[in-house]
Amino acid sequence: MEDLLAARCQMGMSLAFHIIFACIGIAMPAMMVIADYCYLKTNNQIYQTLSKRWAKGTAIMFAIGAVSGTVLSFELGLLWPKFMDFSGSIIGLPFALEGFAFFTEAIFLGIYLYGRNKVSRSLHFASGVIVAISGALSAVFVVIANAWMNTPVGFRLVNGQLADIDPIAAMFNPNACVQVIHMLIASYASIGFAVAGIHAVMLLKQKDNLFHKAAFNIAMWLGLIMALAEPISGDFLAQAIAHNQPIKLAAMEGQFKTEKGAPLRILGIPDAKSKTTRFAIEIPYALSILAFHDPKAEIQGLESVPESDWPPVLYVHVFFQIMVMCGVTLSLVSLWALWLHFKYHTFTNNKWFLRAVVLTAPLGIIAVEAGWMVTELGRQPWVVYNVIRTAHAITPMKGLLTPFITFTLLYLFLAFIVTWLLYKQVIESPKDIE
Amino acid sequence: MPLELLAAFSILIALTFYVLMGGADYGGGVWDLFAFGTNKDKQRQLIAEAIGPIWEANHVWIILVIVILFTGFPKAFAAVSIACHIPLTLMLIGIVLRGSAFTFRTYDKQEDLRQRLWGRVFAIASLITPITLGIIVGAISTERIHRDYIVDFISPWLSPFTIAIGFMTLALFAFIAAVYLSVEAFEKNDYTLATIFKKRAIISQCFLALSAFTVFMLSKSAAIALWHKLANSHWTIPLQLVVAVLAIASIVFLLKNQYRLARLFAVAQVTLILWGWAFAQFPFLVRPEITIFNAGSSETTLMYLLIALGLGALILFPSFCYLYIIFKNNNQVN
């Protein structure tokens, strides 16, 4: 395997694992705090058990997220030193802020986990809230840095040298806000659905288990609210991409020709050789409407730039389709849930609904992974969009296949153990109330 | 004061905290590996209890070091990442295995075999990171990492000198951990354990002195510029005297069972060793070309970075104190 490909694979693999750990690390403390709040309000022991369980889950994920995040911060230099050399001074700031958010999370998670008997109940609850907020803030800062790679601003290039660096302008880059919101909602939606799905399995076996009912309700509400909000934030993000990264949008949509009143292509297989997207269901004018809210708007096609500047069209388009399909399915299940709630005031009595939740449980996480593939592959061949090519950012170190394989094995091992522990510590029915 | 200097100083501060806190966690792992005698399970339990609530927080310091380095001095970060690819990767593997094994041990079934297995991974991984960290410190002190060209990927970091620093780092971490653990045991009124860790602190202090001496002798040929500064600067004799006095004082107070005082002296000693290296390295970040002054980011970046660090510190230090007050006092409330 070529070194460039090995490095890209290693980075992609690390991110693919980290994004799951990070999503759980964002959403689980939120659920933990909600359960704790229910306990404070109702004094029902089940909620305390639940918040303790989710606290354990948070602790496991935080520790694993911490190590996998450390790996990433090192890998930026180990694999892409020239990228860091260029960007460090522009976009290092949000990483520093992320460091502090992470610190805060670590400190208050320590207090929350080990201080249950050492601080008052309200202080304990407040620590949980701080954990949930700082977990989300970490994500905000990291996604800001990624958004900058897609829409780099806050500097000028004078004869190949950096000038007028403005880290604040870089942080508030055009994609930052929309991308952050899209990612945060995605974390809550995906983990909400995943957790709800797991407890739905348990509820299908043990219909009246109060523990699983309580867990299902909290996770489902979180998942459904976020799953319904996600398409709206997705629309804003798509508009931002249409303005800032037209070629990425063209790849996502399989749009080869520049066209006024472009159709939206659902499914289909783009073929870079013949420059057509085949087998797609085309909805006339829909892409122009979605991207610019104008049926006549011109959509820039891939052919407007040299082929050497194209992202891998096939992958970007296919992953985008996967993400959208997953998202739409989750929204439909969410609407079903809302209907059940307003009609019967409960979701948990309908077996078919529970089965649907079980089936759709992994879709959120799949959508997150596919979405990141779209973001990152769609940015190619640039590491900093239209400024530095990925191929120019790589380390001169040879034999990068070895670290790629090593870290892949390491991550697989971690994922296996984490899954096992989460099952044992978080999901299994409690034998008695802990 | 120039902004670069402040940024470099904040790296030193973060590194100091990493050594004093994260380092002690690694040292704890070392003592977990070397736990023996009839009460070895109690020794391991003490280590786990001491590390449990705070290890994640302790390890964020290294992330902070990295982040300040790549924001404030991107060229230095890039040069080290390229030349020290291999030891950095090993260090990372150590960090990953150690952190995850510790967590798995805490949350896995309390079944003997599995616990022992996780304990082993945790303890062995605790050896890798300090040694590789020391090797990297050694590598940036010798004059082998250049800005724009690379000879190969081994020679910049592999030499008897860098390996000696690796072992010195390990001894340093083991020492500081043994001192902390003796205090913890003493405060839990477990005098047997306190005595055990007292002995270990003294033994590792001897190793530390021995390895420090080896490093100094090797530096004469391996890191000439560094050695020159260590041997000839006007501050170095007083500094070395103070370190020696602190080292002896920490042992004396351990022997007199004045554990808290001993810890104070040990912390001061370790800090001064680190700072002594930093002063000898000044103004270089990576010898022989990259300095604090020629690798710094733009003024604006450094200013915002320092503002961020200042604001962060305002949140961080009170929170940290709160954490320590809660856990290092043993009173319970309902």
Which of B91, B153, B317, B323 is most worth mutating to test chain A (most A CB atoms within 10 A of its CB)? B323
Of A71, A100, A417, the CB nearest to B316: A100
Count A/B contacts: CB-CB distance under 8 Å.
Answer: 208
Rounded CA-CA distance B116/B49 in Å is 16
**Cα B153 → chain centroid:** 25
* Average pLDDT over all residues of chain B: 87
**Amino acid (1-letter code) at residue A310:** W
* Residue B77 Cα, gap to closest chain A Cα (Å): 7
Name the packing angle between helices B160-187 and B40-51 (round to 10°).
Answer: 100
**Residue range(s) defining the domain that contains residue A374:** 189-391
Rounded CA-CA distance A309/A251 in Å is 11
Per-residue pLDDT, B55: 64
A241 falls within a domain? yes
A377, exposed or middle or buried, with CB in 10 Å at 0-12, 13-18, 19+?
Answer: buried
Taking CB atoms and an 8 Å limit, are A424 and B96 in contact across chains?
Answer: no
Rounded CA-CA distance B60/B25 in Å is 13
Per-residue pLDDT, A273: 84
Handedness of CA A58, A64, A66, A68 (dihedral sign): negative
Do the beta carbons of residue A100 and residue B315 sit within 8 Å?
yes
Contacts of B268 (CB under 8 A, 6+ apart): B246
A267 shares contact with chain B (CB less than 8 Å): no
Residues of A in contact with B308 (CB under 8 A): 93, 96-97, 100
A159 falls within a domain? no
**Amino acid (1-letter code) at residue A106:** A
Contacts of A73 (CB under 8 A, 6+ apart): A95, B63, B66, B67
Predicted TM-score (pTM) of this structure: 0.90
**Amino acid (1-letter code) at residue B172:** L
Lookup: tokens for B210: 């021995």
Peptide bond into B238 cis (omega under 30): no
C-alpha distances (whole Å) from B35 to each of A408, B23, B133, B204 are 32, 18, 24, 14
Taking CB atoms and an 8 Å limit, are A110 and B53 in contact across chains?
Answer: yes
Rounded CA-CA distance B21/B17 in Å is 6
Closest to A202 (Cα-Cα) out of A219, A221, A185, A186? A219
B216, exposed or middle or buried, with CB in 10 Å at 0-12, 13-18, 19+?
Answer: middle
A408 falls within a domain? no
Closest to A94 (Cα-Cα) out of A61, A137, A142? A142
pLDDT above 90 (res B110): no
Let me know the angle formed at the C-alpha of A28 by A324 and A14, rounded to the nearest 5 degrees: 65
* Residue B157 Cα, gap to closest chain A Cα (Å): 14
A198 falls within a domain? yes
Quote the DSSP letter at residue B173: H
More confident residue, B132 or B63: B132
C-alpha distances (whole Å) from B295 to each of A89, A97, A344, B37 are 11, 22, 66, 52
Taking CB atoms and an 8 Å limit, are A118 and B333 in contact across chains?
Answer: yes
For this complex, say whether ipTM is above 0.90.
no
Taking CB atoms and an 8 Å limit, are A96 and B64 in contact across chains?
Answer: yes
Q: What 3-state class would DSSP assign to A352?
A: helix
Considering only residues 75 to 114 of chain A, which have any Cβ-Cβ distance to chain B shorter than 8 Å?
76-78, 81-82, 84-90, 92-93, 95-100, 102-104, 106-111, 113-114
Taking CB atoms and an 8 Å limit, are A96 and B74 in contact across chains?
Answer: no
A138 shares contact with chain B (CB less than 8 Å): no
Q: Which helix (H) or strand (E) holds A106?
A: helix A81-114
Lookup: tokens for A325: 């399909």
Q: What is the pLDDT of residues B42-97, one digit of tens each?
A: 888 888 877 766 666 677 888 889 999 999 999 999 999 888 999 999 999 998 88
- Segments in chain B forming alpha helices (H): 3-17, 23-33, 40-51, 55-72, 74-83, 85-107, 112-141, 160-187, 191-222, 224-232, 236-255, 259-281, 299-328
Taking CB atoms and an 8 Å limit, are B107 and A68 in contact across chains?
Answer: no
Lookup: tokens for A176: 């930052």
- Segments in B188-298 forming alpha helices (H): 191-222, 224-232, 236-255, 259-281
pLDDT above 70 (res B328): no
* Residue A372 Cα, gap to closest chain B Cα (Å): 23
Taking CB atoms and an 8 Å limit, are B322 and A107 in contact across chains?
Answer: yes
Closest to A293 (Cα-Cα) out of A261, A254, A331? A261
* Residue B14 Cα, gap to closest chain A Cα (Å): 12
Rounded CA-CA distance A176/A174 in Å is 6
Of A68, A78, A92, the CB nearest to B88: A78
Rounded CA-CA distance B301/B283 in Å is 20
A205 falls within a domain? yes
**Amino acid (1-letter code) at residue A298:** E
Closest to B147 (Cα-Cα) out of B74, B227, B69, B251? B74
Kindly give the pairing relationship between strand A382-384 and strand A388-389: antiparallel
C-alpha distances (whole Å) from A318 to each of A55, A140, A330, A374 are 37, 27, 18, 9
A201 shares contact with chain B (CB less than 8 Å): no
Indicate the number of domains in chain A: 1
Q: What mean pLDDT is predicted for residues B176-182?
A: 91
Taking CB atoms and an 8 Å limit, are B312 and A100 in contact across chains?
Answer: yes
Beta bridge partners of A393: none
Taking CB atoms and an 8 Å limit, are A410 and B96 in contact across chains?
Answer: yes
Share of chain B above pLDDT 70, in %: 94
Of B77, B315, B332, the CB nearest to A100: B315
**pLDDT per residue of chain A (434 residues) written in tens, 0 to 9:** 789 999 999 999 999 999 998 999 899 999 999 999 999 999 899 999 999 989 988 888 888 888 888 888 889 989 999 999 899 999 999 999 998 898 888 888 888 988 888 888 889 999 999 999 999 999 999 999 999 999 999 999 998 888 889 999 999 999 999 999 999 999 999 999 999 999 999 999 888 888 999 999 999 999 999 999 999 999 999 999 999 999 999 999 999 999 888 899 998 898 888 888 888 888 888 889 888 888 898 999 999 999 999 999 999 999 999 999 999 999 999 999 999 999 888 888 888 999 999 999 999 999 999 999 999 999 999 999 999 999 999 988 888 899 999 999 988 988 888 888 888 776 676 665 54
Taking CB atoms and an 8 Å limit, are B60 and A64 in contact across chains?
Answer: no
Residues of B in contact with A108 (CB under 8 A): 319
Closest chain B CA to residue A420? B108
Do the beta carbons of residue B215 and residue B168 sit within 8 Å?
yes
Confidence of residue B103 (pLDDT cuts 50, 70, 90): confident
A12 shares contact with chain B (CB less than 8 Å): no
Task: At A156, give phi and psi (nearest 5°).
Answer: -130, 150
* Residue A275 Cα, gap to closest chain B Cα (Å): 39
pLDDT above 60 (res B317): yes
Taking CB atoms and an 8 Å limit, are B74 and A87 in contact across chains?
Answer: yes
Per-residue pLDDT, A137: 95
A144 falls within a domain? no
Confidence of residue B246 (pLDDT cuts 50, 70, 90): very high
* Residue A38 Cα, gap to closest chain B Cα (Å): 20
DSSP symbols for A237-277: HHHHHHHH-HHHHHHHHT--S-EESPPEEES-EEETTTTEE
Per-residue pLDDT, B54: 64
Query: Distance between the two ends of chain B, CA-based, in angstroms?
Result: 50
Of B63, B71, B78, the CB nearest to A82: B78
> E-assigned strands of A159-248?
161-163
Which of A100, A138, A407 is most worth mutating to test chain B (most B CB atoms within 10 A of its CB)? A100
Rounded CA-CA distance B273/B144 in Å is 23
Contacts of A432 (CB under 8 A, 6+ apart): none
Rounded CA-CA distance A43/A47 in Å is 8
Of B71, B99, B331, the CB nearest to A63: B99
Rounded CA-CA distance B304/A142 in Å is 17
A419 falls within a domain? no
Closest chain B CA to residue A110? B53
A239 falls within a domain? yes
**Amino acid (1-letter code) at residue B219:** S
Q: What is the pLDDT of residues A259-274, one digit of tens each?
A: 888 899 998 898 888 8
Do the beta carbons of residue A419 and residue A411 sit within 8 Å?
no
Considering only residues 374 to 413 of chain A, which have any Cβ-Cβ distance to chain B shorter than 8 Å?
395-398, 403, 406, 410
Per-residue pLDDT, A346: 86
Residue A155 exposure: Cα atoms within 13 Å on the Cβ side = 27
Do the beta carbons of residue A293 and residue A284 sit within 8 Å?
no
